[in-house]
Amino acid sequence: MLSKNLTEIKEDHEHGYDRHKDLKALDESKAGVKGLVDAGLSKLPKIFIHEQDKTTTSNNLSIPLIDFGPLFTNPTNSSSRFEIIEKVKYASEKWGFFQIVNHGIPTTVLDEMLDGVVRFHEQDTEIKKEFYSRDVTKRVYYNTNFDLYVTPAVNWRDTLSCVMGPQSLDPQKLPTVCRDITVKYSEYVKKVGIVLFELLSEALGLNSSYLKDIDCAEGIFLISHYYPPCLEPELTFGTSAHSDSSFLTILLQDQLGGLQVFHENQWIDVTPIPGALVVNLGDLMQLITNDKFLSVKHRVLAQKIGPRVSVACFIRQHLSPENLKRYGPICELLTPENPPIYKETSVKDLVSHYYGKGLDGKSALDHFRL
């Protein structure tokens, strides 16, 4: 199914352009965007051309940076914990995004994880092809653009997806070249996730285990992106504007930059900081907090330089059929002046809706408004 309107399809037809054929050729190559680059492309194929505005006004704003060090070096100091919670609260209400340093994951682990992503995408194409799939019920698969056939324009990016939890994954299912580090990194990320959920619970005025107790911390969907260098970056995107479907996302990016966050009507660069992780709240968090915490739009620009690599860990369960728990706005946060604005939904329904529409620039949350 293509999300083009009839006029566009008719125009393409009249000009003898078969978009679906191009999408299928890319898909069936199983070599992704990197395969096109390796083949020595001189011009950006039409399927990658985005109509969306790519302008960025220059500004000096940056997303909040929060030092988690005192949580570990001085765990009994309640005033430093209180200060950190205040910063998390401010960032979650005003930005939906922040960076954290001294989060407990050693820099060597972060660097090795990024190296693992490069090793996966740059290995022998024939071996990589064995992982190529669009079957979202698989726990490990690689493809280009999860929404290839529904998105209005294709992004300049390939991705390896791994469902790391809640059920533990047999490591043998992971690609050899990044197996050990993916297991290790996701164990570390899980711990950071739990710390974040405790702080977020307290920032909402709830007891610190609240979000963990309603199973928000269950499930890690780890996706490793590879953004090849692009000849005509001004015509496309690495990742077009979207908000995440997760409760929260913990993102590791390399030092190349390109990630931008939409804040107060402008796009703000998320400047890479060595050793830092980017944290952002997703649609599920905005839904359960009844809009108190924001799931904010972000995007990744395509660039002439590259490859850029990043690892996004979506903290949420995936599409497993047994996961039927329903989430609605948290009762403790509701008052007569602040009635629920979302209906209850399961993670599976929200994620299915999100996948069904693809990164089309619109929020998946609208579908769940009362």
Contact of 329 with 293, CB cutoff 8 Å? no
Q: Which is nearer to ligand OGA, 236 or 253 (CB)?
A: 253
Residues 306-335 interacting with ligand OGA (rule: CB under 6 A): 310, 312
Question: How many whole angstroms separate alpha carbon 5 and alpha carbon 320?
Answer: 33
Query: Which 226-265 positions form the footprint of ligand OGA (CB under 6 A)?
Result: 239, 244, 251, 253, 259
**Residue 92 or 239 having the CB closest to ligand OGA:** 239
Distances (CA, A) of 44 to 229, 270, 292, 334: 12, 26, 41, 50
Evaluate whether 121 touches 31 at the Cβ level (below 8 Å). no
Among residues 147 and 244, whose Cβ is nearest to Ni ion?
A: 244
- From Ni ion, ligand OGA, none, which one binds at residue 241 (CB under 5 to 8 Å depending on kind)? none
- Residue 113, binding choice from ligand OGA, Ni ion, none, Cβ under 5 to 8 Å by partner class: none
DSSP state of 132: B
User: Nearest 5°: phi and psi at 299?
Assistant: -155, 165
Structure tokens at 96: 């939906």
DSSP 166: T
> How many CB atoms neighbour CB 348 within 10 A?
18
Q: Which listed option, Ni ion, ligand OGA, none, makes contact with residue 145 (CB within 5 to 8 Å by class)?
A: none
144 scored as a contact of ligand OGA (CB under 6 A): no
Examine residue 296 and tell whether it contacts ligand OGA (CB under 6 A).
no
- Decide: is 244 part of the binding site for Ni ion (CB under 5 A): yes
Closer residue to Ni ion in complex, CB, 216/259: 259
* Angle value at C-alpha 347, between 343 and 350, nearest 5 degrees: 65
Task: Please say which residue, 147 or 244, places its beta carbon nearer to ligand OGA.
Answer: 244
- Give me the sign of the Cα torsion angle 359, 362, 367, 369: positive
- The count of residues interacting with ligand OGA (CB under 6 A) is 11
Binding mask 34-53 for ligand OGA (x = CB under 6 A): --------------------
Interface residues toward ligand OGA, by CB under 6 A = 223, 225, 239, 244, 251, 253, 259, 298, 300, 310, 312
